[in-house]
Structure 1
């Protein structure tokens, strides 16, 4: 577990910190919309941070991404449970009980 290098930037700040920390060419992130990022993306992340453009979506236009079809995902996760979004304790309680 790493503390964000630059605090208060949301997901982009976390991705930046993780890419700085990993010793491999690729990283795997739990966020369902950005699973494979290479440290080669760091210059673009740094540029976005310098320009105060913290929305993760801005990152997609500047790097190579592969969109995964729902059919491909359902082969591994038929219920799409991997895409559940949990932000608050009540979200976790809701999915834990039904």
Structure 2
């Protein structure tokens, strides 16, 4: 899908899991970043990683472009902002670096649903996943307006300001695809869930 870019958000302090970079945790013999790239490579020609510590992932440069956050201290919204400014296309799929079980079919569905919208975000009942979503460059102005207000900025604040389409997904897909790793317990669970993921992909 050459009209879209892909952006991996590799920021965050990973303080709750006591590692420097969650994307470098291994599951199934690969780092999470490698797992994400394996899904994104066939779908996108332009892949970016936005990282607070780009030096740690220099060896991925042959597979993606790596940038540091342009504005520090904003959390995920800062990574989205940098990705939007650096990506080659007008819209892109953005994903957090701690989601090891991506599904290419769902990503395609989100991209196909993006025409006429500034953002496309998956939703399951009352839960949304804004760090597995599509954003267009039209969001840049809204983010800059949020930055000027100062204080804490949530990605939900951005979604409320732009034309956002919510795509309802079933609970089976959300069980693994949106699973993210915040704690040591999450990581240990992910190691066990790897078998379920392999069965789902067959």
Per the TM superposition, whether the score is higher than 0.5 is yes
Q: Residue 24 of structure 1: SS of its match in structure 2?
A: coil
Q: What does 1:58-69 correspond to in 2, within 5 Å?
A: 58-69=157-168
Relative to the length of structure 2, the TM-score reads 0.42
> Shift of residue 89 of structure 1?
4.5
Q: After TM superposition, what 4+ stretches of structure 1 lie above 6 angstroms from structure 2? A: none
Alignment of 1:1-98 (within 5 A): 1=49, 2-31=67-96, 32-34=129-131, 35-52=133-150, 53-71=152-170, 74=172, 77=173, 80-98=175-193
TM-score of the two chains, using structure 1 as the length reference? 0.81
2-structure distance, mates of 1:87, 1:18: 22
Higher relative contact order (CA 8 A, sep 6+): 2
Higher strand share: 2
In the alignment, structure 2 segments of 5+ residues that lack a partner are 1-48, 50-66, 97-128, 194-202
Which whole-Å CA distance do the structure 2 matches of 1:97 and 1:48 have between them? 40
Structure 1 unmatched ranges of 5 or more: none
* Structure number having the greater helix percentage: 1
